[in-house]
Amino acid sequence: MNFDFTDEQQMIKKTIKKFVKEELEPAIEEQGDEKPFTKEFLLSMLKKIKPFGLVGTTIPEEAGGAGLDLMTWGLLYEELPNQLKSMSGITANMARRIYDRGTDYHKEKFLPGLLAGDKIACSANTEPNVGSNPSEIQTTATIDGDHYVINGTKTFITNGMTADYISVAVQFDRSKGGKGVGIILVDREESPVEARPIKLMGFNTGELAELFFDNVRVPKENLLIPEGQGYKTQMSGFHAWRCFVGLSGCSIAEKALEYSIKYSQEREQFGKQIGSFQLIQEMLADMKTELDAARLLTYRALDLVNRGQIARVETSIAKHYATEMAIRVTSKAIQIHGAYGLTSEFPVERLFRQARILAIPEGTTQIQKLIIGRELTGMNAFR
Ligand SMILES: Cc1cc2nc3c(=O)[nH]c(=O)nc-3n(C[C@H](O)[C@H](O)[C@H](O)COP(=O)(O)OP(=O)(O)OC[C@H]3O[C@@H](n4cnc5c(N)ncnc54)[C@H](O)[C@@H]3O)c2cc1C
């Protein structure tokens, strides 16, 4: 059993770490933490991370991609500032799906802009009444001449305000439930979609949005995943992405641990550094133990997916453990910082908010546990 990364992977990780510290973090710091980044700023960030392969990711180089394997993408992703993770990841994911499943028309129309880092994408599945069970979506697509006409509302959509392209899950035939679902690509320039921003804890600089499809007409050729295959496609996409959310949890927790160690070495009470108190050391030891466990579980799951194996249990374990771990670890970080930890003058309060949101998207903690339970028992709690 080998727990080491290849020399190349270690080198890539070291290089991006330095780049993030020297180039990205100062630029992000300058933008502040209070309001959403502008589209211009986000595109400038995409351009900066493109040379690392974080735009073209796993698409082969001969097709204009970066030719990374999934594991290497994950290692790079882990190092990215939290504020850029989902924006870049969701955009790259759409490019990969178009590369895998798209027609020549889709590839010519959508891929160049995405691979150049000139376009942002979002994936619209969740609806006001449909969250954990995407097979029940109610947004409809009906045919009218050469167009699909889309009607419905999508909500909590990452990149929803800025995205140029929307991958929208639609219901073609409600009587078929999940078997009626397909996916259509929407180019907002030719098919405008109304949107309103949603303010979310821990997501000040990001953009979640509600999207209103009100008789939105989209050329028929934009159908990416036909009726009957949309639900399955969404489910299969979850495996890698759950690991990526787990990695977000690990990087947030790692920062919280670093700040806590430093603070415990500096802060004095009862005439001693608080780091010398055994109960503070216990918290630090628990934080480090849980972080290492989460990271190993997440790397294991990502490695399995990278090797093309079905890893339903492992990816669900990684997602729920790493995200709940991040909540526990950032909460302990606040405890170690005392009242200062609750103020916005110290970074751990922000890390706690960032961690707290991770247990909801890409399948909540409860959904992950039900998937694991189903695989263990053969009994499906969802039915
Ligand atoms: C930061 C963030 C980014 C997001 N980005 C996107 C995006 O880009 N695109 C998109 O489409 N969506 C996105 N979402 C939405 C996300 O996918 C949903 O929030 C998620 O699927 C859960 O749905 P819900 O919030 O409606 O909760 P619900 O499904 O209503 O669940 C409410 C509670 O009930 C529990 N529950 C539900 N069913 C069961 C069950 N069978 N057994 C036990 N407990 C159950 C859940 O665990 C949860 O605790 C995002 C959400 C967040 C927080």
What are 326-363's pLDDT values in tens digits?
Answer: 999 999 999 999 999 999 999 999 999 999 999 999 99
In the predicted model, what is the mean pLDDT of the chain? Answer: 95
Check residue 1 and give its pLDDT: 74
| Ligand 1: nearest atom to the Cα of 160 | 8
Check residue 213 and give its pLDDT: 98
pLDDT digits (tens, 9 = 90+) for 355-383: 999 999 999 999 999 999 999 999 999 87
Question: 134 C-alpha vs ligand 1 centroid, how far in Å?
Answer: 10
Question: 363 C-alpha vs ligand 1 centroid, how far in Å?
Answer: 6
Question: 282 C-alpha vs ligand 1 centroid, how far in Å?
Answer: 34
The answer to whether the CB of 380 is under 6 A from ligand 1 is no
Check residue 216 and give its pLDDT: 98
Check residue 205 and give its pLDDT: 87
Of 83, 129, 156, the residue with max ligand 1 atoms within 8 A of its CB, to mutate for a pocket test, comes to 156
Q: Give the bridge partners for 332, in sequence order.
A: none
Question: 199 C-alpha vs ligand 1 centroid, how far in Å?
Answer: 16
For residue 16 the two structure tokens come to 């991006």
- Do 7-119 and 122-227 come out as alike in CATH topology? no
| Cα atoms in the Cβ-side hemisphere of radius 13 Å centred on 331 | 9
Q: Which fold has domain 231-377?
A: Butyryl-CoA Dehydrogenase, subunit A; domain 3 (1.20.140)
362 is catalytic: yes
The residue ranges of the chain whose pLDDT is under 50 are none
The answer to whether the CB of 123 is under 6 A from ligand 1 is yes
Q: Whose CA is nearest to atom 41 of ligand 1?
A: 382
- 3-state secondary structure at position 196: strand
Check residue 34 and give its pLDDT: 82
Q: How far apart (Å, rounded) are the C-alpha atoms in residues 238 and 97?
A: 12
Check residue 285 and give its pLDDT: 98
Check residue 139 and give its pLDDT: 97
Question: 364 C-alpha vs ligand 1 centroid, how far in Å?
Answer: 6
The answer to whether the CB of 132 is under 6 A from ligand 1 is yes
Domain residue spans of the chain: 7-119, 122-227, 231-377
Question: 382 C-alpha vs ligand 1 centroid, how far in Å?
Answer: 14
Q: Give the bridge partners for 142, in sequence order.
A: 149
Check residue 25 and give its pLDDT: 95
Decide if 55 contacts 115 (C-beta within 8 A). yes
Of 94, 123, 126, 365, the residue with max ligand 1 atoms within 8 A of its CB, to mutate for a pocket test, comes to 126
Decide if 59 contacts 91 (C-beta within 8 A). no
Sign of the CA dihedral with 193 first, then 196, 198, and 199 last: positive
The CATH class of the 7-119 domain is mainly alpha
Check residue 211 and give its pLDDT: 98
Decide if 281 contacts 288 (C-beta within 8 A). no
Q: Tell me which of 2.60.40.420, 3.40.50.2300, 2.40.110.10, 1.10.357.10 is the CATH number of domain 122-227.
A: 2.40.110.10
Residue holding tokens 């974080």? 54
Which segments within 159-240 are labelled E, that is strand? 165-171, 181-187, 194-198, 208-219, 223-225
Check residue 3 and give its pLDDT: 80
The answer to whether the CB of 126 is under 6 A from ligand 1 is yes
The answer to whether the CB of 9 is under 6 A from ligand 1 is no
Which segments within the chain are labelled E, that is strand? 121-124, 140-144, 147-158, 165-171, 181-187, 194-198, 208-219, 223-225, 268-269, 272-273
| Ligand 1: nearest atom to the Cα of 362 | 17
Catalytic pick from 127, 210, 314, 362?
A: 362
Q: Whose CA is nearest to atom 26 of ligand 1?
A: 131
Q: How far apart (Å, rounded) are the C-alpha atoms in residues 154 and 137?
A: 9
